Structure 1
Amino acid sequence: MREIELLAPAGSWEALVAAVQNGADAIYLGGKSFSARQSANNFDDEELIKAVSYCHIRGVKVFVTVNTLVSNDELKDFTTYISFLYNHDVDAVIVQDLGAAKLIRDLFPDFEIHASTQMSVHNLEGVKLLEELGFQRVVLAREMSVEEIKQVQDNCKADIEVFVHGALCICYSGQCLMSSMIGGRSGNRGRCAQPCRMPYQLINMRNGEVFKNEDGDYLLSPRDLNTLENIHQIVDTGVKSLKIEGRLKRAEYVATVVGAYRKAIDQYTMNKSKPKLDSATLKDVEQIFNRKFTKGYILGDYGKKIMSFEKPSNRGIKIGEVVGYDKNKQKVEIKLTDELRKGDGIEIWTEKGDSPGAIVEVLTVRGEKRETGNAKEIIQVNFKHSVSKGQFVYKTSDISLFQRARESFERIERKIPIEGAFHGKIGEHILLTLWDQEGHYVEIRGEYQVERALKRPTEEERVREQLMKLGNTPYVFESLEVQLDGDGIIPIGELNGLRRDAIKQLDDLRANHNGRQPVETRELRKKMDQWFVVSRGEQRSEVSLRVSVNNLTQLKAVLRFSVNRIYYTDFDTLEDASQLAKNHEVELVPSFSRITTDEELRDIKTFLSKNRNQVKGIMASNLGIVKVARDMGVEHIYGDFSLNVFNNGALMLLHEWGVEEAALSPELTLKQIKEIMEKVPIPGEVIVQGHLPLMIMRHCPTTAVLNKKGQQENCNLCRNSSLGLKDRKGMIFPVMMDRQCRTHILNSQSLCLIEHIQEILDGGVGNLRIHLTIEDEHQIEKMMEAYGQVLQRGMMTAAAEAFLKEMRERGLTKGHFYRGVQ
């Protein structure tokens, strides 16, 4: 069995210490910039230097997250920051942005790069493409099963990392635009506002009928992942790293969860049998934070087993129910089913759906003040909110657990075994040699020369006792050989100084784990100047209108108008669609889902092999499809918006991979688009019209509400329905299901840039896309006529104005065209 890594989060210095002292093999953390958890405390430059030294001395690696999309005007600051990380011995960087990855590989070729889960890698071909770029590790999508993960691990060279515990995103990571489009806070920029944790209602958009979910209104809020009792199944896949989520969590959480997984992993690797964790450990992990637990897609849970419909935040552990409430005294009587202490936090769930809470300040049993209430006892505690008999009480924080967690990293030091030898011969300089199990070796010769004692010589045990006083250092002697002349004398101060110098030198050796030569500023600037010179590729002068369609009905409506290219998403009717497009002399390009499993990729390969002469182009919506299309010699490869092209570097990399055009990220502003188009290796494309997809997910909210069994297989409940999710503000987000039963949530308002077409063209973009999803024939006809006239005449026409007026009445958005994202 290969050595497996336990990777822990650190959003603060305390959390980092907690992770290290509870057994983490590696830490991932973020700096003040370019990190996907901008709301965490994170580490400034000085703290980061200190963190790397602290971890390396203790044999723990440090990975720094630079896993956001990086704009063109940030790339130079980004490069400077990467140089700082490189020069201060960070072990690896975790990256989302394709352009950022190319920059790191080009300018820092020996810096280890890990692909963030934000890269949405979910198939073997995607992993292999990143291997070509030099990625040493890939974090796979959390939607993959252990069987799929093992298939990838067995057939790739890169190390594979998977999440085993913590909060889950309901959308495939890196593919969520919901927070971005609703409020301008982009998950791809580290500022997700978590709209998935808000309440929604499933609604029939045709007649307004609301389908009530009996289990709760949080239709997009997943439970927390917990694989603790089944960790052996994940270890057996052969992955390199087991990752705990939680950079926003407090240190006590990190200590508790890391300690539990350390125990489980060690049990399995030592005994080769399923770990048997004591009930106290399992309870501690549940108590420290949970939204209910799921084993996740990784271990076969799906449907309602994934979701926390009742409550989107920490629910704690149920410890009793209300048996009475005194409104005047503001005290609640609780019959306990578990222990409750003074200082614990509680919440009481009411029929209103809220859960008022309090810290237990005074606890009484039959009028007697107590520190603890026990199971089966009826207690009284202070509680300001009015509650009713029969309501359940949950303990959301446990003061005893917090104290134990803090002790695990405040009082207990994780020790590193070392060995040593001391020589103290008369007439010679004292000499101390230290070495550790990793091969670090130091030899310190003191200035003091041993003299012959006039009265009492220094005894061997006294020397040993003094040298072994390692105090607050992270070291402990496994053995210490002491060689003395029997009648020599050595002052205690000389021994102390020698020990301090040796430990300092050992610290320095261990801290400089990678032994890199620092990159000089002048050399880096020279490389940057060369890298940022991008040759402008061959650009088309004419305007090209493309339309993405979902079915034959939409295709027929579009083909009544002048269009240059069709992106077609319905695999089942592709043959008929191709013939229709051919009859109209329009290029038709198959466009496959943003998510394509390895099994689905095999179907795509078969299709491309059979239709080699007919299929000249393909829309590549993920890295796996890019590689398949390139390897199979597809003549024209077009990159979709889901590749998150946010800078010129991303276009440069896609060009190297054989992509000849790419849609730009819908999170870019017009100003940023212009900057990109000033020097691009391949043409860009901009989506100007349509309901942008905000989420793609394995979870099916339709099934969760309409199928009482909570199953997802072969449900067909939404294939012919017009369903949406209604938020607390009354906005309705259309829901679509694809042929693989993945759910797509669309923006409540359609993007409409028809009045800004000339600005876009003046910005250097000639390729414009209309992205059709739920539009009917009538809407498509008006849309196509309006855009056709604007492109033909170079100005708004009566038909275009009428279309724009209708769009405004229905509700439109200009996306990030002017406002941009945080």
Structure 2
Amino acid sequence: MPPSPNTPAPTATHRPELLAPAGDWECARAAVENGADAIYFGLERFNARMRAHNFTLADLPALMAFLHERGVRGYVTFNTLVFADELDAAADYLRAIIAAGVDAAIVQDIGICRLIRRLSPDFPIHCSTQMTISSGAGTDFARDLDAHLVVLARENSIKEINAIQEAQAASGRPLPLEVFVHGALCVAYSGQCLTSESLGGRSANRGECAQACRLPYELISDGQKVDLGDRAYLLSPQDLAGLDVLPELVRAGVASLKIEGRLKSPEYVASITRTYRRALDQILEAAPPAFDREAARYELEMSFSRGLYTGWFNGIHNQELAHGRFGTKRGRFLGRVTRVQGDRVFARLESPLKAGDGVAFDAGRHAEGEEGGRIYTIDTAKSGESVLTFGRGAVNFGRVHVGDRLWKTSDPALGRELRATFAGDKVRFTRPIRAEVHGHAGAPLTLILDDGEGHQVKVASSAPLAVAEQRPLDTERLRQQLGRLGGTPFQLGELANHLEGEVIVPLSELNQLRRDAVAQLTALRQAPLRWALTAPDPTTTRVAANATAVPTETAPELIVVTRDLAQFEAALTCPGISTFYCEFENPKHYREAVTRFRSHQQTTSDFEHPTSNLSTAKPSIWVAPPRVFKPGEEWILKQVRSCEADGFLARHHEHLRFFADDRVRGDFSLNVANPLTAEFFRERYGLERVTASYDLNIGQLEALLQNAPGDWFDITIHQHMPMFHMEHCVFCAFLSSGKDYHDCGRPCEKHRVALRDRVGAQLPLKADAGCRNTVYNNRAQTGAEYVDRLVALGARYFRVEFVHESPDEIPRTIAAYQRLLRGELTGSALWQELKLLNQLGVTRGQMETGPRTILKKRS
């Protein structure tokens, strides 16, 4: 909520941009008419909200002319991963976007950033929150991409934002920062959620998130269900509301404040935009307008709310972030049911309610469905209780109980008020322009209008100024006539009167001068921005010509990924394995793993099986830092490096910098989906190899290998897909009363925990050194049936990953894949063998072409 009267005003002088979402034309108008400085929107392809209505390429000229006339910037969301066989289409799409004069593209894919720069040397790139930029190294990375702005991860606190700004200032090349300030919070780090991909073949990195985080789960600890009462929505955070911390964000120098909601209604866009516009103006204006704190909170709750919370801005508080009681819209809490008599419900209300409002009865069993409807009448009983009646058949009163929570979910009157702010073509929100007038008797009156955004027009009257015998054109009279800007997107701001002497011109002439100047200024603003575009070139989407393929005689290598010491020791005894990757929850154990690896080297004369025809790579052990880094966590990276492994897996921008002098390979979290991305990591950061994105199915993997050398890539052919990767700690939130690692008692070190979904699958849960949680798919997925095709295209390095397998399972699985790579076993035969080896069987997972099952969407 807005700051209290005692909150000191921000000292920063900049005005942060207010950025609103627009899923369609109505939403765009709602944003513009309620004070947005910019909007962001998607097109038919390559955007992370494919379920929104979205605009088309054909809409762009009219949309940008409308926005620019109103002084509003427009950013296209090109924020998905792009596959190798889509790069040519993406280039054509980007050419059209750039030519249409869009203000910037919001981009996730590294290869697309490089492609944009090949197409245009000056078109602005905004690094999407899907890039998981959460530290100063991330902004350095964005500068390497020649980006203009960085959208930070939602998980960054204000303290961390200030640290990033300090790091940027020290570099001497700061980039503007954008943060989400309101709307739905994804529980997983954006760009790091593979849940929908894993469960249904619908990648969040491709705009097809099925919102599995909003579903109920049971908590299983050491094999037993934990009784959590009515808390079942363990991964569903409350919605972000940053009004309380707006002064701190302004002081931190945040350049853009972003509202989430491209799937929301135009009324939602209108409500949230106008609320934050008013709050910002109160903070920034010398004479701030009045702001009703309680009315603002009510409006935010009614527009859409799963509960309002400051998210991670004030740091981590796992008890508050996700209360677990529901995962959908609620609205305003009204009170509790005190009695049910026939078709009447009695309640003690804490907030106003009126006939026509919609309500829902919350018995704490949301998954079973809830009762609710519109209020028909509301009266007051002698007891002081409110008596509610509903339309016939609207409510099953047998399912309404004493003690049920009562929520107001709809306020039609507010909805009508909000729609009135943007419906039709009427201009409602105006922006100030500066006017100057010049002239003297016998010369024309010259009017200059300046919109403060680089547009200036100069017009002269057709009739000369005359000496005024009475009522000369003084500043007051000029303001009166020039300020008649109704129906235009302007209001008269500063007026500079440079007229010499007491002069006059007919008012009709002055009015025509104003109209002509406004028309010219409007035309200037509507003109599309002109970005440089290179000539079409078929090599634009290709990697460098000197990239060499793997020699066909190079034997394939099997790389084993283990997640605890017992698994590692089991893998270490397997003949024929030369390369080991370790990802342990506690990096302190890396030193022990490296010690055991070195000892094993000394006591084993040959790491190869005597009859093996697999790779004879020099034995090596590689370790993985935690998947995300935030300011203040340097100690973790130092601890990782201290183990003196042979190499490190880069999983975050910070790792590219910290391990720059070491041997480094890129892990899957770098989201390498096309050859341009792979080439950038290899050429700019010297990575030996990168792991192909887990979003790629077999057809897309083949396209990748057809367009880049196979020895650039590790390809994972056996794994439990890492689904949610979260700052939210389920261990802390639901197995302790603490707010973070300081006071949680570390239940993650004491219990083996899983989340049980609605179909009974128990999904393993693990915590890392940064207390971030990863939920894994319980079923292993295999690409065994596709290995021959991948080898034929040059792939040589194949990863087999383990999560919760026992040490006894490790050698059997490794041996099976070794036989596959040696040609002693077919992919289909291994598929059958794995089904027998694994208690839950196996799945083809994301390797299989096309979507498999569709998760039920949540509202």
TM-score (norm 1): 0.88
2:142 maps to which residue? 130
2:376 aligned with 1:362: yes
Question: How many positions carry a matched residue from both structures?
Answer: 798
Contact 1:428 1:450 survives alignment (8 Å): yes
2:309 maps to which residue? 294
Query: 1:451-462, aligned counterparts within 5 Å?
Result: none
Structure 1 residues 623, 437: CA separation in 2 closer, same or farther (over 3 Å shift)? closer
1:627 maps to which residue? 657
Amino acid aligned to 2:801: H
2:768 aligned with 1:715: no
2:678 aligned with 1:651: yes
Cα deviation for residue 388 of structure 1 reads 3.1
Amino acid aligned to 1:589: W
Structure 1 residues 435, 378: CA separation in 2 closer, same or farther (over 3 Å shift)? same
Structure 1 residues 495, 601: CA separation in 2 closer, same or farther (over 3 Å shift)? same
Cα deviation for residue 375 of structure 1 reads 8.8
Amino acid aligned to 1:539: V
1:164 maps to which residue? 181
Contact 2:337 2:347 survives alignment (8 Å): yes
Distance 1:599 1:361 in 2: 52
Amino acid aligned to 1:579: T
2:358 aligned with 1:345: yes
Query: 1:728-767, aligned counterparts within 5 Å?
Result: 728-767=758-797
1:536 maps to which residue? 547
Q: For 2:63, what is the secondary structure of its paired residue? A: helix
2:806 aligned with 1:776: yes
2:506 aligned with 1:506: no
Cα deviation for residue 643 of structure 1 reads 0.8
Which of 11-20 and 540-549 deviates more? Answer: 11-20
1:403 maps to which residue? 416
Query: 1:90-169, aligned counterparts within 5 Å?
Result: 90-156=102-168, 157-169=174-186
Which of 763-772 and 313-322 deviates more? Answer: 313-322
Cα deviation for residue 414 of structure 1 reads 1.9
2:537 maps to which residue? 526
Structure 1 residues 332, 798: CA separation in 2 closer, same or farther (over 3 Å shift)? closer
Cα deviation for residue 338 of structure 1 reads 2.7
Any gaps of 5 or more consecutive residues in structure 1?
A: 368-373
Amino acid aligned to 1:125: A
2:324 aligned with 1:309: yes
Q: Deviations over 1:535-560 (max 9, x none)?
A: 43352522111011123221221122
Cα deviation for residue 361 of structure 1 reads 6.2
Q: Deviations over 1:313-352 (max 9, x none)?
A: 111112244455565xx55455543322333221112354
Distance 2:379 2:359 in 1: 17
Amino acid aligned to 1:23: G
2:60 maps to which residue? 48
1:679 maps to which residue? 707
Distance 1:638 1:211 in 2: 40
TM-score (norm 2): 0.84
Distance 1:525 1:264 in 2: 47
1:370 maps to which residue? none
2:586 aligned with 1:573: no
Structure 1 residues 563, 237: CA separation in 2 closer, same or farther (over 3 Å shift)? same
2:101 aligned with 1:81: no
Q: Deviations over 1:718-752 (max 9, x none)?
A: 32433211111112211112233221110121012
The structure 1 segments of at least 4 consecutive aligned residues displaced by more than 6 Å after TM superposition are 421-431, 448-452, 457-467, 480-491, 494-497
Amino acid aligned to 1:668: L
Query: 1:541-580, aligned counterparts within 5 Å?
Result: 541-561=554-574, 562-570=576-584, 571-580=587-596
Which of 19-28 and 317-326 deviates more? Answer: 317-326
Structure 1 residues 133, 620: CA separation in 2 closer, same or farther (over 3 Å shift)? same
Identify the match of residue 243 of structure 2 among 228, 246, 250.
228
Contact 1:67 1:118 survives alignment (8 Å): yes
Structure 1 residues 268, 465: CA separation in 2 closer, same or farther (over 3 Å shift)? closer
Contact 1:536 1:679 survives alignment (8 Å): no
Which of 121-130 and 656-665 deviates more? Answer: 121-130
Cα deviation for residue 708 of structure 1 reads 4.6
Distance 1:296 1:196 in 2: 16
Q: Deviations over 1:601-650 (max 9, x none)?
A: 45425764x67xx54422111122122222xx22x321111111111111
Identify the match of residue 39 of structure 2 among 27, 32, 52.
27
Contact 1:694 1:744 survives alignment (8 Å): yes
Q: Deviations over 1:83-134 (max 9, x none)?
A: 2222222222111111111111232221111111111112222221221221
Contact 1:166 1:226 survives alignment (8 Å): yes
Q: For 1:155, what is the secondary structure of its paired residue? A: helix
Residue identity (%): 32
Q: Deviations over 1:198-250 (max 9, x none)?
A: 0100124x64x211212411111111112212322232323222222222222
Q: For 1:173, what is the secondary structure of its paired residue? A: coil
Distance 1:726 1:404 in 2: 44
Identify the match of residue 255 of structure 2 among 225, 235, 240.
240
Query: 1:612-623, aligned counterparts within 5 Å?
Result: 615-623=645-653
2:797 aligned with 1:788: no
Amino acid aligned to 1:694: M
Contact 1:292 1:308 survives alignment (8 Å): no
RMSD after superposition = 3.7
Structure 1 residues 722, 435: CA separation in 2 closer, same or farther (over 3 Å shift)? closer
Distance 1:648 1:684 in 2: 10
